[in-house]
Each structure stands twice: as C-alpha cells, then as structure tokens.
Amino acid sequence: MLKVDLHLHTIYSGHAFASFYETLNYASDNKMEIIAITDHGPTVDGACEAIAFNLGKRAPKTFKGMKVLWGCESNIINQDGTIDLPNETIKHLDILLVGIHPTTVSKDWGIKKNTEAAINCFKKYPISIFTHPTTFIYPIDLDKICEAAFENNVLLELNLSSLIRLKNNSERECINRMKRMIKLVKQNNKKVIINSDAHFLHEIGDDAILSEYWAELGLTDEMIMNNYPKELLTFIQQKKESWVQSK
C-alpha cells in the first residue's frame, strides 16, 4: 500500500465513483500519509468547471493526521502547451499535474508537434507531475519528453493503472516504453513518482500490481520519490512559489 498517492480522482472528474470525503476517509483508514485530490481539468468530458478548482484555499489541508493536497490533472489543449486552467485558478492549487487525454479539445497533431506541445507546457507552468507518459494516447517522443521533464524539474509518473492495463493486454500500454522511462530516470539520477490514478475507492494507494513488474522494470527503492515525503512536499511547494513569484 502506498503511503503517498498524488493522483486521485473523485466524482468531480465525471467518470470516477467516490466523493471527496469518501476518498479522504478511505485513505486515512489505510494509514496513508499524503494524498492529492487531482480531478480532471474541465476539458475532459463530464469534468467540473474550472471555478471548482478555485476553492483550494478553503479545502482541508489535513484530515485525521493525513496531509491533503488540492490539485488538478489538467490537459494540454493546444500546440503552444496551454492547459485548460487559467493562471488565476492554478494559484489556488497545491499541486498541478498535467496529462494528455483523448476526450479533451486536444487533437493528434503528429508525434513532433505532440512532443513540442508537452515540452512547451513544461516550460510554462508549475507542473509537479506529468501523468502516464508511457501510455499510448497520442504519439510522443518519449526520450525527448523525459529529457524535457528532467530539464524543467517535472516528475515522471509510473502509473499503476497503466500497469493494470498492461497486465490486461491493453494496446495502449507497452512494457518496453515503461522500461525505457525508468532507464532514463536512473541514467539521469532522477526519481520517479508512483501513483494509482484511482477512479474507485479500492484503487487508492493499491500498489499490489507493482511487485509483478518491479524487477523487469528495473526499479529500486532509492529512485522512488514516494519514499522521500519531506523532499517531495518541499519540491511541490517550491515549484508553485517560484511560478507565482514570476507572475
């Protein structure tokens, strides 16, 4: 069971099935230490409007001794790397995740422009985590994405839902892409973040699938950012503060 899980969805994502407080209670009951509520940005079908994310300053920051981060898994919506949240809304978040999703206004611009859009996004926003980078949604140059993430201090995510899809033979997943990402992380002396991408309560913090792929992926405890909660929280806070000061 993960003690830190920074990619959780609630009913406000439009296709997840737990409420905000159901999520907090489940995570607390399972002795988790840090979680992030990261509902989908507004361009995902069924997701809430951007205004909902403005309530971050009113959201609980702790719950029964557990640290709670108010965040969003936002979406890249054009080739210059713009996401589906305005800057003023981002200021209300504790953590910003960015991903590529097929149900947003973004399109497949081809591997070169898709890759450039993600890199531009890394440069524009205080992104802590780039979500499920190895999943085939639109084609990207994984090596260039990883290089840009390292240069812009963005954590790459090993997504547990991706591993579950891999086990179920999904065409969207590829073990070699996951292995390549882990290899590049190690070669560059970086760390990877492991998240559940939970859409149901039972998925929160559940890392049982990880043991099946640990050795093949080449993972080590030392490269897992979840194992360094103080360093992780400092990283997230400094990301946001530096960006806010630049605006």
- Residues 9-38: tens digit of each pLDDT: 999 999 999 999 999 999 999 999 999 999
Question: What's the Cα-to-Cα distance from 105 to each of 55, 84, 238, rounded to whole Å?
Answer: 24, 9, 30
User: Which DSSP letter does residue 46 get?
Assistant: T
Q: What is the pTM of this model?
A: 0.97
Measured N-to-C along each axis, helices 210-217 and 175-187 cross at an angle, to the nearest 10 degrees, of 60
Does the structure show a pLDDT above 90 at 5? yes
Q: Determine the Cα–Cα distance for residues 5 and 9; give it in Å rounded to an integer.
A: 11
| pLDDT at residue 107, as a whole number | 76
Does the structure show a pLDDT above 90 at 102? no
CA torsion 100-102-103-106 (nearest 10°) is 60
Residue 106: band (very low, low, confident or very high) from pLDDT cuts 50, 70, 90: low
